[in-house]
Structure 1
Amino acid sequence: MSERVDQSFDSGAQETESGSSNQLPSTYYSTRNSFCYDFNNSTYKENDDIFSLNCTPTNGNHRMRNETEETILGGSCDELGKSLNRQSCVLSFYDAVSSLYFRDGIRSIDFVIVWDEFDQEASTYRCNEMRKTFESNLQKEGLHLEYECDEFNGLHFIKISTPREVLRRYSEILKLRMPMKEVKGLKIPPARQNLFLQEVNSFFKKIVNRYYVNPVIFPPMKHKFTAVYSRDKEYLFDIDSPDFFTPATRSRIVQFVLDRTRFTVDKEDDFAFGIERLTAEKAYSAAYPLHDGTLKTTDSMRYLLYTEWASVKKIFHYQPLDYIKEYFGVKIGLYFAWLGFYTHMLFPASIVGLLCFAYSWFTLYSNEPSKDVCTSNYTMCALCDHFCGTWNLRDTCFHSRVTYLFDNPSTVFFAVFMSLWATLFLELWKNYSAEITHKWDLTSLDIQEEHPRPKYLARLAHVKKKSLNFVTNTVEPRVPFWKVRLPATIFSCSVVLLLIIVAMAAVLGVVLYRMSLLTALYGFSNNSMVTSYAILLTTATAAAINLCCIVVFNWIYIWLAEYLTEVELPRTQTEFDDSLTLKIYLLEFVNYYASIFYIAFFKGKFIGYPGNYNRFFNSRQEECGPGGCLLELCIQLGIIMIGKQAVNSILEMLFPLFYKWLNTIRVHVGLQKTPTEGRNLSRMHLQWVRDYKLVQWGPRSLFPEYLEMVLQYGFVTIFVAAFPLAPLFALINNVFEMRLDAKKLLTLYRRPVSQRVRNIGVWYRILDSISKFSVITNAFIIAFTSNFIPKLVYQLVVSDDHTLKGYLENALSKFNTSHDPQNYVNITICRYPDYREPPDSPDKYNYTDLFWHILAARLAFVVVFENVVALVIIIVRWCIPDMSPKLRDKIRREAYITNEIIIQHEAQRVSKLSSNELIRTEEHDLELDNANHWSRVLESSLTPYDFDLEVHGSPMSPAMGTSSMGPVEL
């Protein structure tokens, strides 16, 4: 088409569904600020090469020529795009609703792919050919493509719509569970509850009613029976319902096609497929489904979630999980369900932690060892060689009082409580997760039904050995064990081990820094104030440096873990994610917790004594403060935990904002002062242009969110004996984290493609391992890091009045400075914290009998603590089932009903009668009979035996019905 296009021309031509070059002219109307819903005069055939549509506006009247123009277009879109003069191309106008559809106003936009003309690599002949082949193959798959006129900024938008035939075909391939036709008269009664529990729940609901999900804004979703979709059994499904294929289902199917479509005719290139590869090759710049409107489109689900869920004003309200699942998919819905449940469980832990901390405040000035430190006049031995001198124990008065806040009898109680809390949290989550799994129809989801990853099949394309997958009944290549699997596993383990050593080296560097700084503060500072706070200052700065190292190492670990996982050739995406998760968490575990483990279990444990110190690199090892290392452990834990949360919260908002800013600049490139500037700016409000400005939500974008929470869970449980306020800080962070993640998803990211998962995956096993490991760590922290056991032994064995009077004198040993004259001048006796014989004893500087009593008590406490907690954990797990009996019966009952509904539809299909009147009469009687039958089944509390009899045709009792015919016989 060489002639000049009229000024009212709508940008881009209508693309034929078959991609044929013999395209007939298409007729349509382009309307401004209106949308065509009346298609009485339209004809549309999805599989034909001819598309003809006469669209009449909603009000039934045609607009004036300057607003609406009937245009007849001919030729393909490629030819049209080449022939158009960009200066004379006047663009079409859409409103917020119409920009979610093709120009015909019928077919919805399920996906958008974009390429950039101003990108030199994207404009090369190679990329042009790849795009041409790729789009041609998409059309051969049955997808509909519609091309927008090239923008002034060089962006080319290609809209994709999925016809019903493609949806049907791939729903069967993906084994999607779809809602079945409803049985008329079938009612599901509400679950029966204990009367006492009902009263308690009703009373509780009255108190927190204002924080529940508003049923007016978010009406409860109706339960539907589902079955695996099959085109051979479409009579089971309400296929004609406009909502049968939801937007999430449509985008998932398109993503599946995009990931597996080839973009070259060269059969030897095994990896020449998938939109991900094309994006990496710069042939396309983006591919994404559309949000259902803007943040100001009041009738969109996006706006509703933004105002009623992501708002900071709703931080104390329950989440509309069903609607989150419907909009973002099951995987993201499960994450927010787990995060909300975890946050709710932090409430009791935070309250108990606050009570324990309050107890320590109220008893602070009645603690005998702290008062003795503040009133003592003991001369302490030097803390370093050559530069340090003796110092007075009274200078650490503030240090000893702060130590008592975290090292007191309530610490033991809180450690036991948190061990039980962790078990209760996991067991209750399993129970709650079972309800969500059933509610969202994930109970029968089998991971073996998942399709292999395209990269997995491509890398094994030339493998001759193949095996039959018993579950899917398909022949798949088998990974060679000796040539591929074993070398990849050895290589992966070696690299992970190397990275662990690097993390340990970083911890060692921080230790050397701490030793050097402490020596400098004690040796070169004449300020008593600096000397008295040297330990606190050194610990705080070292923890800050360690946090910086952790943040830097995180980037390296994630990149290497992804590469190693790809080398291992996991079959499915779920297996890939689980393997990647284990690697990264192991590396992050060492990265975050190595310095904390050092302070808790190694620092100050093997230092020796004055005159005979155990040296490391010819230097003395670090010593704990007079009150032990628990305060330093608390400071290290608090800075890393709170600092990590603050840094992550800032970065996870700044990075998307930065990338969104880059995309926005890219969209506005080329908008110069032209006569059509107003129309060009109006193009910026199209939904696909708005969404292009947002950041792509990758397949593993949820991983850092889980990782952050699981690492936090480790701080809350593994080292909670040292920091009882950890649950409180975690609660405060999570309350805002939920809304921050929600706002980020709705405002900064493109709409994710829906993913179906059965549970939170490998993260549950990691949480369970952390909970079990926390029992051991807390037992050892209380026994060996805190002073709880030495004080307890002193009260029971040494003290005459069973108090802590004289404990300080008992816990300090004496050293004669004449045995080490280089470091001491004009001082005869100095003190150091240990249980050793005095210098005038025949066994001078050897351990006293009290030391061995305390060591035996420490070991006994570990054994008793772990066994008592383990016993209680077993009892808790036995009392709380993974799935409630009522839910198990409900699932079983619904499985029977689903099966019988299928049989009923089968019977109706094969037993068609010739007389239409007879058919109508029989069907009416059948519907009434079956409606009564299923209502009796659902409303009656039957034993499994009676239930089997009822659904298979035997009556429950004469009073319940007179018909003895079951659905099968009918």
Structure 2
Amino acid sequence: MAFVSDETSLEMDEISEDGEVIVSDEMEQTIMPTYGTMQDNLPRTYTADIVEFNQNEDSLYFNDNQRRIDYVLVYEDELLKEQLKNTKKGVLRKQMKKRQAYESGLMKHGLQLEATRAVSDEKLIFVKVHAPWDVLCTYAEVMHIKLPLQPNDLKNRRSAFNWFTRCFSVSENIIKPEQEFFTAPFEKDRLSEFHIQDKDNFFTPATRSRIVQFILSRVEYAVKDNVKKFGINKLLDSGIYKAAFPLHDCKFNVKSSDEKCPNERYLLFREWAHPFSFFKLQPLDLVRKYYGEKVGIYFAWLGYYTRMLLLAAIVGLCCFLYGYKSQETCTWSKEVCDPNIGGQIIMCPQCDLRCNYWLLNITCESSKKLCIFDSFGTLVFAVFMGIWVTLFLEFWKRRQAELEYEWDTVEFLEQEEQPLPEYEARCTHVVINPITQQEELVPYTTFGKCLRIAFCTSAVLFWILLIVASVVGIIVYRLSVFLVFSSSLPKQTNGPVAIQKYLTPQTATTVTASIISFIIIMLLNILYEKVAIMITDFELPRTKTDYENSLTTKMFLFQFVNYYSSCFYIAFFKGKFVGYPGDPVYWFGRYRNEECDPGGCLLELTTQLTIIMGGKAIWNNIQEILLPWVKNLVSRCRSSGAERFMPRWEQDYHLQPVGKLGLFYEYLEMVIQFGFVTLFVASFPLAPLLALVNNLLEIRVDAWKITTQWRRMVPEKAQDIGAWQPIMQGVALLAVVTNAMLIAFTSDMIPRLVYYWSFSVPPYGNHSEPTMQGYISNTLSIFEIYDFKNESMPLDQPLFDRMTCRYRDFRYPPGHEHQYEHSIYYWHVIAAKLAFIIVMEHIVYSVKFMISYAIPDVSNETRDKLKREKYLTQKILHERQMGNIADRYWKTDNVLLSKLD
């Protein structure tokens, strides 16, 4: 483990039988003058001295107003808990000793501590942590943190759209632009080469918090059975500490009067998180400075995705309006609604025994709605979205490269990112590094790594199959409940009443199945999150980026199946393998396969997407706004009896803690939405518009939440959006296939085109244009009701004493030598569908790859800046080093000359 100590570091003397670190008399005497006296009733381990609050509620410093608070630890004083049982005192005492040993370890690594009792609850103790200059320098070198060498003198090229950007950007008089510097990994021995104007401000608050968090996660507090116990995370999980967080710099709605406070949180709330700022561009540089690069890159990606959705939303709205207007000329819809055509066509029952015959014209309204979504505009929009998603991903790569340069994270993964402390603690096997050709420690052998990967893959596949099993269970439920509801209807002979009753079972089945499916999805989400974290912990990734990427992949695979399985079922399976009335297909030999709604599966898929996207967006936004606000309100009410002045650390403690996964769920929510926007957009061209409206609100809700309702995140660096980038690329490739198959197999576009060009009969001679007249009658097959099997024969007689009924398929009629077999029309349609899929995929993929090749991931301007900065940085370091060598030789020569004289 990469622990650092200097000449003034203190060594632990011994370890007790319980595994706690004990401080020696010599160490106690050494630290006593600096940090105060020991409490009389505590064991001989060091604990931070408790001082009185100085009533300065805006202060970000110790009571001396000199040492900055870089981190805060919170625990509950066990000695003040009332009515303790004897069985609990031993546990509490062990916790107390572990905490004291941990604080001693923090002291050993040079951190300074000051404890203060809470104003609102005297049992709460706040331990303020300060990292002195020497500690910051030491660990900045250990962590390879890049720090300023000299101001950047490269001129930025002005874009032609700068005037547009300035119109919607925050004024530079309000948020001053950050000065850019050439940077290099910090080295303590070359301190003079770095741009240090003020020691107090050389390390930004974000950098100071990163360094302190690095130390907190690696300090030991116990050794038991030769196993080291270390890190603030384990102490938080065990309840020894109640919270650990860096401080916000001020209140979000009131500007701090302290001259030392930069009031960045106040500026972020007013210019970024406030609802009235929705039209402004995000102040990403300030977001990055205050919350770190990881949060900054998320909001940069979300903002870029939202701006790109604007183009897709406009095109989608135009396609929707085109489809809406085409209802007036939709011939096949008119035939369905015509009482002399659709009103005379009797359709076969869609279940056995108790299902009734029904008239085709009951689908009049749904057929009109289907004309909106199942039109030529949908085809154009599906091709456009295949190209749009490529443009979005390629241009985002360029934007991401610009941010890597501007935020100085180009070489973060190679130079700055440190191994996780859990990984370092288990490094026991020696291997040869293929790059350095030197020995290094790893936690497992190659064989052990293969076993871990095999186990984790099997666990993930098991849970995915569990979701598939739940989907199959829901389908079986739908089939059985539909049969129960249908069989419970009384026998009807009146046509309209029978039709009205016929719709009741489907409605009841859909509602109950949706509720059960929602409950199962939520339960599996809760369970799988814990399982995914356990699996990833077992994998033991080397760095936090590796850990997050591995967890992201597992969670997305699960959520992909969980959220999209019902849509894939409706789009590609429901109503596709149902047989025909005389020989229906059964599940498990008992349940008759489910057919599409009378309006068709495409309209049902559109309805499903509308409900899922709209409902999910509304629910998530209400949850993100209401839940943290209510929790914080309850917390404030509990502390309402406190004194008027509450210190900054106590105000932050009453905010909501940031989850261990940080912004993971925000990414997941947006990428799931990205899937809905791209995978099934052929059935719902308004999806980008809904996503755009949601995202405009989502940006401000997320900003409001982390600025006003959450404790301050530990600022972390990130080079890019991680595993989400290849996930979106995979979704983009899959979207071309799904949309092509939607148009081919779920919509009626291909059968209509085949009929239009091949089977329609011109009404006025051979030279006139073909029409869609007669399409409905031509595409409905005929079935003789006496050919029903006994187990599926309807109990009701057909309406108007007809001996035949119609069903959706392309089969030969009764009396034909190949009766009930697929007709030539069916094979023409299948050939046309397959040809359409191949042609559309090849066209879209060809355009996508040409666009990807034509748009480089890094722009020439950014590439030149990177090369120029690298050159100038090396030149600066070389010249300064040569200057130092020359100065040494000059001083040496002068000394020799003076001696000779």
TM-score scaled to structure 2, two decimals?
Answer: 0.86
Partner in structure 2 of residue 457 of structure 1: 424
Partner in structure 2 of residue 303 of structure 1: 266
Partner in structure 2 of residue 681 of structure 1: 643
Q: Distance in 2 between matches of 1:457 and 1:814?
A: 73
Partner in structure 2 of residue 370 of structure 1: 333
- Structure 1's 913 and 278: CA in aligned 2 closer, same or farther, altered over 3 A? closer
CA RMSD of aligned residues (A): 2.9
Deviation per CA, 1:147-203: give whole Å up to 9, x if none. 214664300111110000000000000000000134xxx84333266xxxx3xx25x
Deviation per CA, 1:896-950: give whole Å up to 9, x if none. 111111122123222228999xx9xxxxxxxxxxxxxxxxxxxxxxxxxxxxxxx
Q: Distance in 2 between matches of 1:360 and 1:493?
A: 45
Partner in structure 1 of residue 74 of structure 2: 114
- Structure 1's 469 and 297: CA in aligned 2 closer, same or farther, altered over 3 A? farther
Partner in structure 1 of residue 217 of structure 2: 259
Structure 2 residue 294 is the aligned partner of structure 1 residue 331? yes
Q: Quick one: which amino acid aligns to residue 388 of structure 2? A: W
Partner in structure 1 of residue 545 of structure 2: 574
User: In the TM superposition, what are the counterparts of 1:157-176 in structure 2 within 5 Å?
Assistant: 157-176=126-145
User: In the TM superposition, what are the counterparts of 1:939-950 in structure 2 within 5 Å?
Assistant: none
Deviation per CA, 1:294-329: give whole Å up to 9, x if none. 123315111111111001111121000000000000
Q: Distance in 1 between matches of 2:660 and 2:712?
A: 12
3-state secondary structure, aligned to 2:525: helix
Q: Distance in 2 between matches of 1:192 and 1:335?
A: 25
Q: Distance in 2 between matches of 1:691 and 1:499?
A: 38
Q: Quick one: which amino acid aligns to residue 622 of structure 2? A: I
- Structure 1's 19 and 894: CA in aligned 2 closer, same or farther, altered over 3 A? closer
Partner of residue 177 from structure 2, selected from 220, 229, 241: 220
8 Å CA contact 1:411–1:724 kept in 2: the answer is: yes
Identity of aligned residues (%): 39
- Structure 1's 356 and 744: CA in aligned 2 closer, same or farther, altered over 3 A? same
- Structure 1's 214 and 603: CA in aligned 2 closer, same or farther, altered over 3 A? same
Partner of residue 823 from structure 2, selected from 833, 848, 851: 848
Partner in structure 2 of residue 134 of structure 1: 102
User: In the TM superposition, what are the counterparts of 1:792-803 in structure 2 within 5 Å?
Assistant: 792-800=753-761, 801-803=769-771
Partner of residue 609 from structure 1, selected from 557, 580, 602: 580
Q: Distance in 1 between matches of 2:175 and 2:267?
A: 9
Structure 2 residue 66 is the aligned partner of structure 1 residue 103? no
- CA apart distance, 1:267: 6.1
Structure 2 residue 149 is the aligned partner of structure 1 residue 180? yes
Q: Distance in 2 between matches of 1:438 and 1:346?
A: 26
Aligned residues: 822
Partner of residue 490 from structure 1, selected from 444, 447, 454: 454
Q: Quick one: which amino acid aligns to residue 456 of structure 1? A: Y
Q: Quick one: which amino acid aligns to residue 802 of structure 1? A: P
Q: Distance in 2 between matches of 1:654 and 1:257?
A: 35
Q: Quick one: which amino acid aligns to residue 213 of structure 2? A: Q
8 Å CA contact 1:100–1:109 kept in 2: the answer is: yes
Partner of residue 355 from structure 1, selected from 318, 329, 332: 318
Q: Distance in 2 between matches of 1:80 and 1:909?
A: 56
Q: Distance in 2 between matches of 1:449 and 1:896?
A: 20
Partner in structure 2 of residue 278 of structure 1: 235
Q: Distance in 2 between matches of 1:842 and 1:777?
A: 37
Partner in structure 2 of residue 763 of structure 1: 724
Structure 2 residue 191 is the aligned partner of structure 1 residue 191? no
Partner of residue 505 from structure 1, selected from 469, 473, 477: 469
Partner in structure 2 of residue 697 of structure 1: 658
Which stretch shifts more, 130-139 or 625-634? 625-634
Structure 1 unaligned residues grouped into runs of 5+: 1-16, 22-46, 53-73, 83-88, 672-679, 920-970
Partner in structure 1 of residue 359 of structure 2: 392
Which stretch shifts more, 487-496 or 126-135? 487-496
Structure 2 residue 719 is the aligned partner of structure 1 residue 747? no
- CA apart distance, 1:218: 1.6
3-state secondary structure, aligned to 1:101: coil
Q: Distance in 1 between matches of 2:438 and 2:408?
A: 24
Deviation per CA, 1:615-635: give whole Å up to 9, x if none. 113121111234531011111
8 Å CA contact 1:324–1:333 kept in 2: the answer is: yes
8 Å CA contact 2:57–2:648 kept in 1: the answer is: yes
Q: Distance in 2 between matches of 1:428 and 1:80?
A: 64
3-state secondary structure, aligned to 1:148: strand
- CA apart distance, 1:520: 5.6
8 Å CA contact 1:467–1:478 kept in 2: the answer is: no
Structure 2 residue 380 is the aligned partner of structure 1 residue 417? no
Q: Quick one: which amino acid aligns to residue 102 of structure 1? A: F
3-state secondary structure, aligned to 2:825: helix
8 Å CA contact 2:781–2:806 kept in 1: the answer is: yes
- Structure 1's 177 and 454: CA in aligned 2 closer, same or farther, altered over 3 A? same
Q: Quick one: which amino acid aligns to residue 644 of structure 2? A: S
Partner of residue 726 from structure 1, selected from 659, 679, 687: 687
- CA apart distance, 1:373: 0.5
TM-score scaled to structure 1, two decimals?
Answer: 0.80
Partner in structure 2 of residue 940 of structure 1: none
3-state secondary structure, aligned to 1:126: helix
Deviation per CA, 1:73-109: give whole Å up to 9, x if none. x951645999xxxxxx994333343x21011111100
Structure 2 residue 346 is the aligned partner of structure 1 residue 379? yes
Partner in structure 2 of residue 245 of structure 1: 203
Deviation per CA, 1:423-451: give whole Å up to 9, x if none. 00000000111111100011122347532
8 Å CA contact 1:779–1:865 kept in 2: the answer is: yes
- CA apart distance, 1:231: 0.9
Deviation per CA, 1:723-773: give whole Å up to 9, x if none. 111111111111111111111101121111111111001100000000001
Q: Distance in 1 between matches of 2:501 and 2:858?
A: 59
Instruction: Name which structure has the greater RCO, CA cutoff 8 Å, separation 6+.
Output: 2
Q: Quick one: which amino acid aligns to residue 706 of structure 1? A: Y
Partner in structure 2 of residue 65 of structure 1: none
8 Å CA contact 1:628–1:787 kept in 2: the answer is: no
Partner in structure 1 of residue 775 of structure 2: 807
Structure 2 residue 210 is the aligned partner of structure 1 residue 235? no
Q: Distance in 2 between matches of 1:473 and 1:756?
A: 28
- Structure 1's 144 and 75: CA in aligned 2 closer, same or farther, altered over 3 A? closer
8 Å CA contact 1:18–1:48 kept in 2: the answer is: no
Structure 2 unaligned residues grouped into runs of 5+: 1-7, 13-28, 44-49, 257-262, 491-496, 762-768, 895-901
User: In the TM superposition, what are the counterparts of 1:834-873 in structure 2 within 5 Å?
Assistant: 834-873=809-848
Q: Distance in 2 between matches of 1:651 and 1:150?
A: 30
Structure 2 residue 805 is the aligned partner of structure 1 residue 830? yes
Partner in structure 2 of residue 882 of structure 1: 857
Which stretch shifts more, 598-607 or 488-497? 488-497
8 Å CA contact 2:51–2:115 kept in 1: the answer is: no
Q: Distance in 2 between matches of 1:421 and 1:181?
A: 41
- Structure 1's 559 and 245: CA in aligned 2 closer, same or farther, altered over 3 A? same
3-state secondary structure, aligned to 1:682: coil
8 Å CA contact 1:321–1:333 kept in 2: the answer is: yes
Q: Distance in 1 between matches of 2:644 and 2:541?
A: 47
8 Å CA contact 1:96–1:293 kept in 2: the answer is: no
User: In the TM superposition, what are the counterparts of 1:894-933 in structure 2 within 5 Å?
Assistant: 894-912=869-887
- CA apart distance, 1:485: 2.5
3-state secondary structure, aligned to 2:233: helix
Which stretch shifts more, 284-293 or 488-497? 488-497
Q: Quick one: which amino acid aligns to residue 805 of structure 1? A: Q
8 Å CA contact 2:431–2:439 kept in 1: the answer is: no
8 Å CA contact 1:721–1:778 kept in 2: the answer is: yes
- Structure 1's 128 and 217: CA in aligned 2 closer, same or farther, altered over 3 A? same
